[in-house]
Chains A and B, each alone.
Chain A
Amino acid sequence: MHSGGIWGFILRRTLLGLLVLAVVSVLVFAATQALPGDPARAILGRSATPESLAALRAKLHLDQPVLQQYWNWVTGLLHGDLGNSLANQEPVSTYLKPLIINSGFLVLLSGIISIPLAIAIGVWAAVRRDKAFDVGSSLITLLLAALPEFVVGVVLVVLFATVVVQWLPAVTQVPPGGKPWDDLKGMILPVATLVIAVTPYVARIMRASMIEVLESDYVEMARLKGLRENTVILRHALPNALGPTFQVIAINLAYLAGGVIVVEYVFNFPGIGGALVGGVTNRDLPVVQALAMLVATVYVVLNLIADIATILVTPRMRTTL
């Protein structure tokens, strides 16, 4: 019955997610439609002639009614066909694939580093509540959490790449066909920036939730049962504290997907950030649409995972589903 509950829940959530994505797709399409300027002209640029414009419009189905265009687009999406980039006639998928890999790796690396780090900091701060570590860490996280990531990025470049010392590359170069992990040195600063952007917030939430749990009767009880302190913390406190944090983690990972935009700009990192800015300015609708849908999907999936994870660590919810 429990598992059934879980599956039912997952199903419901997935459907809801799909619903959200459907609405998102409509919005995305509407928004991109609203972009001023004629994509056809944007492509042809200097060499535009009336004939070539007309021809291109037809080629891009820009002459069809909007609903028709939306339908084409959505059905395309479902078949994994993202259309062709208006800027350079190649398929959006081939154009974005390497960029997505790059950004994906960047985000993933940042996530893998920051999340456990944040949890560790949060837990330890809660355990050493009001001790030096707690006060120190909470202050530092507080300050860092407040800083916009482009500020962090610029400062890091100044410190480690140009002015103060020149240990690290100031810009990340991923040669086409190359993979970001070929040049890990170049990843350090962007990753560091994102880590600094994400860790503090998660750490603070983790601390709060951990403190809440540590104050709970059952943790006090666990101590009164004479359990060893680390058993108390790892077995009794941590699992209960993690639950509420998952949502936050998910949201922050999703946030990373947005954070990369600025960070990639600072480090000239070849990723979806640049592609988005470029796509937006070049009126490259298919690219913008694809990226928007991609990011939205990431968000939805992450939240779904977070929900499930929360359920898994909170037995009570399984039954009250």
Chain B
Amino acid sequence: GSGSSSSSGTTAAAGTPKRGGNFRLAVTGGGAKDIMDGQSIITKPDQARLMTAFETLLVYDTNYILQPHLAEEVTQNKPDQWTIKLKKGIEFSNGKTLTSDDVVYSLQRILNPKLGLFGTSGFASLKPSGIKKLNSTTVQLNLSYADAGIGEQLGQYYNGIVPEGYAAFPAPQHGTGGYILKNFTPGQQSVHTRNPNYWQSGKPYFDQVTITDFADPDAQVNALQAGQADAMTDLPFSNVPVIKGHAGLSVLVSKTGGWLPLCMAIDLTPFTDNRVREAFRLMVDRPQMVQQVLSGYGTVANDLYSPFDPAYNHSLPQRVQDIEKAKSLLKQAGQDGMTVDLHTTNGAAGMVESANVFATQAQAAGVTINVHNDPNYYGDLYLKLAFSVDFWGTRNYLPQVANGSIPGAPYNETHWPPKSGPGSNFLDLYHQALTQVDEQKRIPIIHEMQALEYNYGGYIIPFFNDLVDAYSSKVAGFEPSKGTLNLTSFGNGYTTIWFT
């Protein structure tokens, strides 16, 4: 159905928006490998940058419900066919009007395997040949098999709509978004100036957005406190009291479906044996995790992701710590008193901490965990490790599976599913689920998939962490959201926030 074009309201308190100012955002996790691409990101600053210039056909609102954005509406007319209808009069920042050609180009670009883009795997059911332009504002997607997940894919922030012929930075970056890239130095800073002919009237409010990479949260917080930044991502949970106590600074806590899994590669020793995986899942004291890692800013999880998905399996029993059982399982597996390396990195707030807390909890079961904090984690080691920590944002079940739990998924840390034994049918179930248009029929399949991962999977998911960001009270328009990205999807592309 159709919905309002504005995906987030403005808090009454903030009053009427005002124009002007340079919004300075402090982000960690960047580096020399920073990029700018309307359809891909490597680091967190990349997310912040992408949102300045690029928008998607659909967007998730603060309650994680899909809303039309560039598209007037997106409908699944047949199990294997979707139709996209564009809004009229939307222009790219270089003045070019948005047409179906751009949509076709964007989707084709996403499908191009050579580019190794984020979205590719989500569109497994779509072949380039299946993308049909009906008229200047309508595009039809003919799938090679039924897929109910396309809509959600079109709402993923990284599947931005780019102009025909688009290429990543250093090529010029022109999107439909609120800002135009002025300059960009990887690992340091990018500056974005207001897009004068943005399609949402009156928006955006800032004259300029400056995104600065920070080496560590400490410097970030210092900058915020010293008034050198207007907002920062991933405020260390431990710092919330500090900022809250600090006049002129506010904390934005968003209960999201974000999660920091401990990833066991099911095909690498010692985790080839599910008894070991089971034991490890039982060693975790999840409430303590929430307490120590998140300072309570999170909710206990049950080794499953996508909590907001209507199809989330609430019937599975909540796992609790059981050291004795864990011990006996390890004994059976002949792994009692084992030692394992756990790799992590300062990728997202809490990644190192949860590794350390887990290490301490594991001691109780006589397991020694050597935590390696490797800054080059995502460069060299990622996806090749037996035991590692990673971070994910809110996403519904099927899109997430597409991203991380099937062969060919770009970020399959656990190397799920197994070739044989329980779980080996996971892929079939996935395809069944996709082809199943009827929601009621789809849910049982998904529940079965979740049960498999719950019992045999490689993920330990102790909690869903809240996204905690901090910003100067000079900035208005932020409000909590269940969405993936920080700062309410970076102020929905810096168009829904302003300086009071």
B-contacting residues of A (Cβ < 8 Å)? 37-38, 41-43, 45-47, 49, 85, 87-88, 95, 98, 157, 161-162, 166, 168-171, 173, 175-177, 265-268, 270, 274, 278, 281-284
Question: Is A46 a contact partner of B183 (Cβ separation < 8 A)?
Answer: no
A274 CB contacts on chain B under 8 angstroms: 215
| A166 touching B225, Cβ below 8 Å | yes
Say yes or no: is B441 at the interface (Cβ < 8 Å to chain A). no
Indicate whether B79 reaches chain A with its CB closer than 8 angstroms.
no
B185 interfacial by beta-carbon distance below 8 Å:
yes
Which chain A positions have C-beta within 8 A of B375?
281-282
Pick 16 A–B contacts, CB within 8 A, sort by A: A37-B379, A42-B376, A42-B379, A46-B410, A88-B187, A98-B185, A161-B226, A162-B225, A166-B226, A168-B226, A171-B228, A278-B31, A281-B375, A281-B376, A282-B31, A283-B379
CA distance A270 to B312 in the complex (A): 45
When the two chains form their complex, are residues A278 and B32 in contact, meaning their CB atoms are under 8 A apart? yes
Query: Closest CB-CB distance, A290 to chain B, in whole Å?
Result: 13
Given contacts A45-B42, A46-B378, contact A169 B219 (CB under 8 A): no
Contact residues in A for B34 (Cβ distance below 8 Å): 88
CB pair B219–A171 under 8 Å, yes or no, is yes
Known: A45-B33, A85-B32. A170 touches B225 (CB 8 A): yes
Chain B interface SS verdict (over half) = loop
Q: Are B189 and A283 in contact (CB under 8 A)?
A: no
Across the interface, which residues of B come within 8 angstroms of A177, CB to CB?
183, 185
Do A157 and B222 touch (CB < 8 A)?
yes
Question: How far does the alpha carbon of A98 sit from the alpha carbon of B226 in the complex, in Å?
Answer: 25
A90 to chain B, nearest CB (A): 8
Find out whether the CB atom of B212 lies under 8 angstroms from the CB atom of A282. Answer: no
Q: Which residues of chain A are near B188, meaning CB under 8 Å? A: 176, 270
Kindly state the separation between the CA atoms of A94 and B15 in the bound complex, as whole angstroms: 46
When distances are taken between beta carbons in the complex, the residues of chain B under 8 Å from A176 are 183-185, 188-189
Task: Report yes or no: A161 in contact with B222, Cβ–Cβ below 8 A.
Answer: yes
Does chain A have a CB within 8 A of B387?
no
Measured CA separation A38–B381 after assembly (Å):
10
Chain B nearest CB: distance from A52 CB in Å? Answer: 9
With beta carbons under 8 angstroms apart, the residue of A46, A175, A281 that contacts B116 is A46
Q: How far is the CB of B212 from chain A (nearest CB, A)?
A: 7
When chains A and B are docked, how far (Å) is the Cα of A157 from the Cα of B380?
Answer: 35
Q: Is the CB of A268 within 8 A of B215?
A: yes
Whether B376 pairs with A46 at a CB distance below 8 angstroms is no
8 Å CB interface, B400-439 against A: 410-411
Distance to closest chain A CB from B110 (angstroms): 14
Q: Which of B201-215 contact A (CB under 8 A)?
A: 210, 212, 214-215
Q: Which residue of B lies closest to A37 (CB)?
A: B380
| A42-B376, A281-B376, A283-B376 known; A173 vs B228 contact (CB < 8 Å) | yes
Question: By the criterion CB–CB under 8 Å, are B219 and A268 in contact?
Answer: yes
Q: Taking CB as reference atom, which chain B residue is nearest A279?
A: B32
Asked whether B376 lies within 8 Å of A170 as measured between CB atoms, the reply is no
B379 touches which of A41, A168, A267 (Cβ 8 Å): A41
Decide: A37 and B376 in contact? CB cutoff 8 A.
Answer: yes
Task: Give the interface residue-count category, chain B.
Answer: 35 or more
Chain B residues whose CB sits within 8 angstroms of the CB of A169 once the complex forms: 223, 226, 228
Beyond known contacts A87-B187, A170-B223, A274-B215: 8 more, CB 8 A cutoff: A37-B379, A49-B116, A161-B226, A168-B226, A176-B188, A176-B189, A281-B375, A282-B375
Q: Nearest Cβ in chain B — how far from A106, in angstroms?
A: 16
Evaluate contact between B183 and A45: CB separation under 8 angstroms.
Answer: no
Q: A38-B380, A169-B228, A175-B191 are in contact. Are A284 and B32 (CB under 8 A)?
A: yes
Q: Which residues of A contact B189 (CB under 8 A)?
A: 175-176
Select from chain B the residue with minimum beta-carbon distance to A270: B188
Does B186 have its Cβ within 8 Å of any Cβ on chain A?
A: yes
Using Cβ atoms and an 8 Å threshold, which residues of chain B touch A282?
31-33, 375-376, 379
Q: Which residues of B contact A278 (CB under 8 A)?
A: 31-32, 187
The reply on B382 being an interface residue by CB < 8 A is: yes
Report if A45-B228 is in contact (Cβ < 8 Å); known contacts: A176-B185, A270-B188, A282-B32. Answer: no
CB-CB under 8 A from A42, the residues of chain B are: 376, 379-380
Cα distance A225–B435 when bound, in Å?
Answer: 107
Q: Is the CB of A170 within 8 A of B219?
A: yes
B116: chain A residues within 8 A (beta carbon): 46-47, 49
**Within 8 Å CB of A161, what residues of B?**
222, 225-226
Given contacts A87-B32, A88-B32, A171-B223, contact A45 B378 (CB under 8 A): yes
Q: Is the CB of B215 within 8 A of A265?
A: yes
CA A37 to CA B380, docked complex, whole Å: 7
Shortest Cβ gap from B364 to chain A (Å): 33
Q: Is B219 a contact of A87 with CB atoms below 8 Å?
A: no
List, in ascending order, chain B residues with CB within 8 A of A173's CB: 212, 223, 228
Cβ-closest 6 pairs across A and B? A47-B116, A170-B222, A87-B32, A268-B219, A176-B185, A281-B375
A171 touches B32 (CB 8 A): no
Please report the C-alpha to C-alpha distance between residue A88 and residue B46 in the assembled complex, in whole angstroms. 14
Quote the shortest CB–CB distance from A137 to chain B (angstroms). Answer: 32
Measured CB to CB, the nearest residue on chain B to A154 is: B218
Q: Provide the B12-40 mask, 1 if CB < 8 A to any CB of A, else 0.
A: 00000000000000000001111000000
Q: In the complex, what's the smallest C-beta–C-beta distance from B73 to chain A, in angstroms?
A: 34
